[in-house]
Structure 1
């Protein structure tokens, strides 16, 4: 019995050593930190889409100090290079990988099947798997609020929008901006110029200047740089930032903006992986969940406009208001969401039309 008790005690000690590691001097050492990789589409810089994701990474790293080790790779194009980068992270010990651009989706899907013991999370996409989830923010909620300000304050009734690609994520933002503007100013129209790039400051600036030349006195963008806000500041028109607060690039121009808050999501998801409780899921959070926040309004915004935006934001948070509550009518006069109805997440996720109030065409015929 004594020998058996001694064996059990020794085996228990070996189990503890296996989990925590025992140093040469007998000290108990913590388990190795979880290695977490981030793949970014553009340079981090000091504003924009990638900057905001990196702020989330830093928040998570601070919240889980000592438990995680992170690495990021920036400026990774949406192509074969993305697959190479994602695979290299998976093969070099990174057991949780966040891929932060829509065009990475199919590459994440492919690599995830080859590395079943690695957890993959993809931003803005829709595919999933046993070790593969996705996440997104309800950008359109902030866009609607920004549109209300634009509609109220525009004198020309022309609102300019520099957009990357005609995919549902971008289209629903354009439509929400138009719906917000038209809710307070039926004469407002949104004109869109496609940059055909997520990050190209030169193209973004050129598109902004073209829109200004067409009479736009309000600008916004769904691209990654600060070029549109800078152009607005230079030309004396107003702008709404996207992804992050860009006030330092347009202190007079920026009236507000839509920001994405990823830190709490990254912290929770990484904690779930650490605890072994992670399961594949699709997360889509907005104002209510704290994943969308509007930039504080410029002092030049009238008090009654501030009050209206504050009320609408509260309604979004309470779930009593939806930017795509019917009736929603497209450019061709077709009712897409009937009166008394609210658009489904499924229909939002495949939105392929412009609403009335958008003057540009989604696709050239």
Structure 2
């Protein structure tokens, strides 16, 4: 997730089994020349920026942690509702001192604290989610959730009646902007004149505020509400008004069964299992940026609501099949920005560095990048 943070809350440690990477845990010792395969029980830590709860971002990571536990041979612990800065550094350092073989920090705002701790504990393996900094014993990882965003945008574009869709956005950072753009491209691929109106909350998890933001969009005529945050507040607002919604992070249909069309969802298990296998084999390496997509099963969409017609489902699933085959043409030009200027020329596919640094909105988005 991201630089600022989501919500503070309870501290929770849970033991079980887990995941990935390479090398031995040690306390501020010199790094070994080479890693050896690990034969004993792995000890893996997870740091979450929000409560695990029953749905959302931290919940999705925790489902993968539990899946790893089920395989045996791994003991895991997690700490939830961790704030950026000193709080994150303290939690990560405690895990490093506690003999953990690998630590996963799952928020963008944990990047610099993890870099600092990684420098002091060279024998511990560190994995940071959604960032861009790396070192000899730290890599970063994320998923191409924009692919799922595009598919949910298609769904919203088919289902809107008035052609005005609302988007409750978290923070104006590239990850969120990229998701809004992919969603809008999906909307306009099937409904060329539709608009996506954006309201910023600058939160990751604040159910009341996020619900209020959705209400403000419904008040100006939006009939489908999408979101980037963890809470189901926007879903509930849409249902209360008799409108449709698009969830995020996990299947949120239980919170708004009459509104929820589908959701862009995470499945971290394949990536975490791969890291665990590398760790056991002594093949984990730092200085990497892993960005896995639908072809590797890390991102997906939730089951469609009963209100989505079969012909709509079929069209969306046909596009999903392309992405599963590795045929990603979402950010292939011509793509214009809000001012009508061509940002990605015809036939050109945006490079990953452009996507990772995206700070502009595509044509069709109503709102400012701020």
Question: Considering the TM-score relative to the shorter chain, is it more than 0.5?
Answer: yes
| Separation of aligned partners in 1, 2:105 and 2:328 | 31
Q: Does 1:342 align with 2:342?
A: no
Q: Which one of 290, 305, 313 corresponds to residue 306 of structure 1?
A: 313
- The aligned residue for residue 216 of structure 2 is 210
C-alpha separation in 2, matches of 1:128 and 1:258: 27
2:365 corresponds to which residue?
358
**Structure 2 partner of 1:317:** 324
Aligned residue number for residue 56 of structure 2: 48
Tell me the SS of whatever aligns to 2:343.
strand
Q: Give the aligned partner of residue 240 of structure 2.
A: 234
- TM-superposed CA distance for 1:238, in Å, is 0.5
Distance 2:335 2:193 in 1: 17
Whether the 8 Å contact between 1:233 and 1:249 is mirrored in structure 2 is: no
Q: What's 1:172 paired with? A: 178
Q: Distance in 1 between matches of 2:84 and 2:101?
A: 22
Deviations for 1:140-191, whole angstroms, at most 9, x for unmatched residues?
Answer: 1011111111111111211111111011111000001111111111221111
Would you say the 8 A contact 2:247–2:260 is kept in 1?
Answer: yes
- Structure 1 residue 137 corresponds to structure 2 residue 147: no
| Residue number in structure 2 paired with 1:295 | 302
2: CA distance, partners of 1:273 / 1:303: 44
CA deviations over 1:69-125 (Å, ceiling 9, x no partner) = 100000001221111111111111112000000111111111101100000000111
Relative distance call for 1:129 and 1:228 in structure 2 (3 A) is same
Give how far 1:31 is off. Answer: 6.1
Structure 2 CA distance, aligned partners of 1:40 and 1:127?
A: 19
Conserved 8 A contact 2:168-2:226: yes
Partner of 1:248: 254
Q: What is the TM-score normalised by the length of structure 2?
A: 0.88
The answer to which of 318-327 and 80-89 deviates more is: 318-327
RMSD over aligned Cα atoms: 1.2
The separation in 2 between residues aligned to 1:80 and 1:191, in whole angstroms, is 36
| 8 Å Cα contact 2:103-2:125 kept in structure 1 | yes
Larger-Rg structure: 1
2:200 corresponds, among 191, 194, 198, to 194
The CA deviation at 1:274 is 2.2
Unaligned runs of 5+ residues in structure 2 are 1-37
SS in 1 for 2:84: coil
Mapped to 2, the partners of 1:77 and 1:159 lie a distance apart of 32
Point out where structure 1 has 5 or more consecutive residues left out of the alignment.
Answer: 1-29
Q: 1:198-253: CA deviations, max 9, x gaps?
A: 11111111101111111111011111111111111222111111000011111110
**Partner Cα distance (1:210, 1:237) in 2:** 13
Query: What is the SS of the residue equivalent to 2:217?
Result: helix
For 1:48 and 1:152, how far apart are their aligned partners in 2? 25
Decide whether the 8 Å contact of 2:171 with 2:202 is kept in 1. yes
Deviating 4+ runs (over 2 angstroms) = none
Bigger helix fraction: 1
Structure 2 equivalent of residue 149 of structure 1: 155
Aligned length: 332
Structure 2 match to 1:76: 82
- Would the aligned equivalents of 2:144 and 2:299 in 1 still touch at CA under 8 Å? yes
1:91 to 87, 93, 97: 97
User: 1:96 touches 1:118 (CA, 8 Å); kept in 2?
Assistant: yes
